[in-house]
């Protein structure tokens, strides 16, 4: 195989890999209402013991994605939900917070605070915008 053919093949493989990665990411154009509906559905399942409902609600949150303008930290937390949904954790009955690497757990709790502010105000909040100061 010539160097030119090898370079073309490598470039094509890289493009396919990158396209595959981007399609796995949660959307970034959800309406605030759609995001809040999905987030609230998931948050309500954290209070119960219905593991299937918890897993399905997390999947819906990933399908809906985040509103435009979501801060990077909160966007990353929703991407962790996507990773969790694709992992073996749901079958092992590990919650997202139990499964996530320790350095990402604060981001999941930050997402919860951010979501509460965003959903109450109906506008995309800034990172750390929680009047309760948690």
The domain segmentation of the chain, as residue ranges, is 27-121
pLDDT at site 78: 96
- Burial (CB count within 10 angstroms: exposed 0-12, middle 13-18, buried 19+), residue 129: middle
pLDDT at site 129: 57
pLDDT at site 16: 36
Q: Please name the residue that has the structure tokens 């399905």.
A: 56
pLDDT at site 126: 84
pLDDT at site 67: 97
pLDDT at site 1: 52
Can you read off the two tokens belonging to residue 48? 């119960």
Low-confidence ranges of the chain (pLDDT < 70): 1-23, 128-134
pLDDT at site 24: 82
What is the rounded CA–CA span in Å between residue 124 and residue 117?
A: 8
Give this prediction's pTM.
Answer: 0.76
Residue (of 107, 55, 56) closest to 80 by Cα position: 107
């Amino acid at each position: 195989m010539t160097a030119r053919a090898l370079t073309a093949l490598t470039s094509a493989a890289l493009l396919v890999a990158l396209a595959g990665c981007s399609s796995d990411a949660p959307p970034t154009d959800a309406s605030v209402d759609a995001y809040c509906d999905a987030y609230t559905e998931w948050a309500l399942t954290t209070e119960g013991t219905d593991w299937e409902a918890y897993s399905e609600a997390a999947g819906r949150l990933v399908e809906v994605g985040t509103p435009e303008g979501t801060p990077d930290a909160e966007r990353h937390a929703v991407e962790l939900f996507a990773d969790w949904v694709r992992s073996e954790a749901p079958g092992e009955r590990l919650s997202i917070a139990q499964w996530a690497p320790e350095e990402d757990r604060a981001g999941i709790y930050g997402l919860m605070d951010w979501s509460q502010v965003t959903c109450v105000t109906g506008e995309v909040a800034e990172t750390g915008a929680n009047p309760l100061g948690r």
